[in-house]
Amino acid sequence: MQAAITQSDVAREAGVSRGLVSLALADSPRVATETKERIREVAARLGYSRNFGAAALASSRSMLIGVVLPNLRNPYFESLVAAFQAESEARGYTVLAATASGDEARERAMLEHFQTMRVGGLILATPSRPASHYVSIASRLPLVIAGSPYDGGPAHVVHIDEFEAARIAVAHAVDRGYCRVVYLAEDVDSEAAGYRRAAIVAAAEAAGLEVDVMTPVASAEKFGTQAKREPGTVCIFAHNDYLAIDVVSQLRQAGIVPGSDVGIISYDNTFLARHAGFDLTSIDQQPDVQAKLALDAIEALAADSGPSGGDIVVSPQLVVRTSS
């Protein structure tokens, strides 16, 4: 027996997305008349007939949103889940959050658990693997990945423009007279650090600055010596505020004054950056904006009114304080 023709078959034949086929067959005003007619012609030619029972079942979706975070030690993830919760509740959803503790097996178990619960959507923050790894999950429920670069996979990915963030941070360093940038990350080879590192190195080199990449332990003596010998020449780019506060403490113990002897720019603009004891210049990733866009994508995927994957880029903002 020949398999029933699906919307995916129609989309493939018409050269459009499955979401556009769904909208056209539902006579959505969002689709141009000419496009509707072409899609309907293809559907008729292939013998497609809409399954109204399945459509009705799909519309009765859960009002639960699952959120998987790598940890809650980093206050950025606390602010991110708070943003997801506020945006979700404003739309009538309830957020269920879990942490993967940086463990791939635990992350997988959390994802499977949320699928078993039949959540209406799933948000995976800074996952341990590239976005394209989550093909299977994205095919079964609306999935949005926050904080990873888009690699062409089937999930929607929401993230800041890392290259713009690096550009404005490096421009600030140049304005302050720094001539060397040191990028610090706990794991410089991780995917998240690799993407940010590439952006910072590119921006620094374009500005004519020297640039080094290292871990905090390897860097302490190296840039500390230069900061004492040539104060005001080195600007440290910390991967996040959580790391930056440790850097500030180490510098002070070595008799180096942040903001005077050495500059510090970090990422996330959490409460740690705003704390008077640190007063960090920091890149704001705008978690509230990310939350709104993530929920928009989940609702579009649940309604089958959008493409199966997409790159959603948020503009970063540099908040300048006394550390630089």
Label residue 61 by pLDDT band (50, 70, 90): low
In a domain, residue 2? The reply is no
In a domain, residue 1? The reply is no
Query: For residue 131, what is the DSSP state?
Result: G
Strand partners, 127: none
Mean pLDDT value of segment 241-267? 92
Label residue 139 by pLDDT band (50, 70, 90): confident
Mean pLDDT value of segment 210-237? 77
Strand partners, 156: 144, 310
Whether the predicted pLDDT of 181 surpasses 70: yes
Say whether both 235 and 276 belong to one domain: yes
Say whether both 307 and 269 belong to one domain: no
Say whether both 154 and 172 belong to one domain: no
In a domain, residue 174? The reply is yes
Whether the predicted pLDDT of 54 surpasses 50: no
Domain boundary at 37, 58, 79, which?
58
Top-confidence residue, 138 or 180: 180
Top-confidence residue, 189 or 125: 125
Give the pLDDT of residue 85: 93
In a domain, residue 34? The reply is yes
Residue pair 67/84 in contact by the 8 Å Cβ criterion: yes
Give the total number of structural domains in the chain: 3
Say whether both 257 and 297 belong to one domain: no
Say whether both 167 and 280 belong to one domain: yes
Mean pLDDT value of segment 191-201? 90
Which amino acid, one-letter code, is at 28? S
Q: Average pLDDT, whole number, for the chain?
A: 86
Q: What is the CATH number of the domain that holds 50?
A: 1.10.260.40
**Element holding 207 (H helix, E strand):** none
Label residue 308 by pLDDT band (50, 70, 90): low
Mean pLDDT value of segment 193-215? 93
Give the pLDDT of residue 193: 84
Say whether both 42 and 89 belong to one domain: no
Say whether both 177 and 276 belong to one domain: yes
In a domain, residue 322? The reply is no
Say whether both 95 and 71 belong to one domain: yes
Residue 94 lies in domain: 62-159+287-314
Say whether both 151 and 182 belong to one domain: no
In a domain, residue 324? The reply is no
In a domain, residue 320? The reply is no
Mean pLDDT value of segment 284-291? 97
Q: Report CA dihedral (7, 10, 11, 14) to the nearest 10 degrees.
A: -160
Q: What is the full DSSP assignment across 16-82?
A: S-HHHHHHHHTT-TTS-HHHHHHHHHHHHHHT----HHHHHHHHS---EEEEEES-SSSHHHHHHHH
Whether the predicted pLDDT of 266 surpasses 70: yes
Say whether both 11 and 88 belong to one domain: no
Highest mean pLDDT among 26-30, 90-94, 260-264: 260-264
Say whether both 113 and 144 belong to one domain: yes
